[in-house]
Structure 1
């Protein structure tokens, strides 16, 4: 397999889509990795496996409709394997394994059938001290945008997933690219104040547009840099509630086709106004775990 990912929106050809099968029992509060999951555990509204399986199959059908090659993880009994974006990411022809939460390290083994198709020289394991998850990494042509948290209290936030050591490691691997980091707001307890990953508060879409939530950025000048990068007229601003429901976490099949949650009425209307075809799917149950469409996809090849 010849990997190729240079941006977020070029025509998708191959992707790993997660699975909700055999997700296991509802986690305890201590086992939950994010404040939104905790909310739903406490409210007794944590998503059911059968509902999430149905949601993911709807995405698989859309991908197949557009002739995308879809790989799925091998099923591990009683193990959450929905969010494949966390476990690895591709930039150019390099497959970079994430250093993620220790409880989740089996997830990469479940896509070994995919890794076997990749030249071993193009599979990179970052240094142990470089913590990173794919939701924080956005290839943008000559740029790589990276969400991070640089505070001295990094280790106190289970929601801080990418550190500055990982940003520096990416600079070494891709010296010809401009690696730009963005400090994100973190909260272990309030989901509406937590940008778990960069794609929870920002995502490019279409030819030159972006979805963005200002409140997800810790440093206003970094948010302003992004707005200037795309141009104010090309930026779609979402509200705190829309960020909470994961409006910036849609997924592009191409510059003119996206998969989006069916309840994102305002966003989907705007996307269509930009000439983009919106393939709507139900994904509200999966969003209860603070992840959506981009989180559950790991693109391998784009044109």
Structure 2
């Protein structure tokens, strides 16, 4: 009897220990801004991204431009660029998750498929053809409290590139014109903006109407294509990415003109605003962004330069490739 009781107690101890260990391995999500020290992130993958798409399958005007020109990036180059990014993240002791590799599937832009605000993980309502990309991060979802995972209603269209937590604010890029449903570059609608506003009543949700175009040099696919905070009080900005000048001016007034790096149309085309902050002091940037990188260093930032020009041909860059899970 004593032996049976001993075995029972030990079995219960093993169960409790296993439960506690499992609980302790859960990811404690925390993202309240764009620049606090990064602890954990999902970085996309370029492995098995498939052949060059057909023109009719292009999701954005810049990809279409390179498909037609015969300059669309090849997998080997993009894999090398992403590995350079991974090495920088590892250098700063960031826990890096990668998606499970799907055959012939472009999984580079993990920012599109989900985003975190505070301790809540939101599944983005992305283009239907990209749904399997979300399934490829199931191993990450298993480490998140199910009560902290939110699936937005089907009519609330949103992608992570349009969502920027910034302390007491949540900045969201959107497009609310009547032709929304016919505009493939419009990714976040007003229903989604209102959903986020109601979900975080203690935050100020500030939306910005973005310029959408089939011309790659005019199109702001997401908010991070024309705006991004860096450090604690500075920002990269492009005026023409905003449809409403007053909304652009609000950002100028908020950050202060002296703290803003204004990029040109050509620099927006090359994705100058789509850098990525590892901390308030460290920014990962494309090595060819000479004017921006010099400005960042002059402001006191450490700039980690990597090659990313091939991936940029798909109208996405460093921020687009990442989905932060935990920041201090």
Query: Could you state the TM-score of these two structures normalised by the residue count of structure 1?
Result: 0.99
> Residue 260 of structure 2: which of 228, 232, 235 is its match?
235
C-alpha distance in structure 2 between counterparts of 1:91 and 1:12, whole Å: 14
2:310 aligned residue (262, 266, 285): 285
Give the whole-Å Cα distance in 1 for the aligned partners of 2:147 and 2:313.
Answer: 37
The separation in 2 between residues aligned to 1:212 and 1:264, in whole angstroms, is 14
Partner of 2:183: 157
Alpha-carbon distance between aligned partners in 1 of 2:128 and 2:137, rounded to the nearest angstrom: 17
Post-superposition CA distance 1:98-136 (Å, at most 9, x none): 000000000111000000000000000011000000000
- TM-superposed CA distance for 1:156, in Å, is 1.2
Aligned residue in 2 for 1:127: 153
CA distance in 2, matches of 1:239, 1:28: 30
Aligned equivalent of 1:255, options 277, 280, 300: 280
The secondary structure found in structure 2 opposite 1:30 is helix
Structure 2 match to 1:53: 79
Counterpart of 2:23 in structure 1 is none
Distance in 1 (CA, whole Å) between partners of 2:169 and 2:209 is: 17
Q: Is it true that 1:77 corresponds to 2:138 in the alignment?
A: no
Match of 2:39 in 1: 13
Which has the higher Rg, Structure 1 or Structure 2? 2
**Structure 2 counterparts to residues 79-228 of structure 1, below 5 A:** 79-187=105-213, 189-228=214-253
Query: SS at the partner of 1:215?
Result: helix
Instruction: State the distance in 2 between where 1:44 and 1:25 align.
Output: 12
**Structure 2 residue matching 1:106: 3-state secondary structure:** helix
More helix by share: 2
Deviation at 1:206, TM superposition (A): 1.0
Q: Which residue of 2 aligns with 1:267?
A: 292
Q: What is the total number of aligned residue pairs between the two structures?
A: 302
- Tell me the distance in 2 between the aligned counterparts of 1:207 and 1:109: 34
Gapped runs of 5+ residues in structure 1?
none
CA RMSD of aligned residues (A): 0.4
Between the aligned partners of 2:126 and 2:100, the Cα distance in structure 1 is: 19
Cα deviation, residue 25, structure 1? 1.1
Name stretches of at least 5 consecutive residues in structure 2 with no aligned partner: 1-26
Give the Cα–Cα distance (whole angstroms) in 2 for the partners of residues 156 and 60 of structure 1: 36
Q: Runs ≥4 in structure 1, deviation > 3 angstroms?
A: none
Residue 27 of structure 1 corresponds to which residue in structure 2? 53
SS in 2 for 1:150: coil
Equivalent-residue separation in structure 2 for 1:185 and 1:22 (angstroms): 32
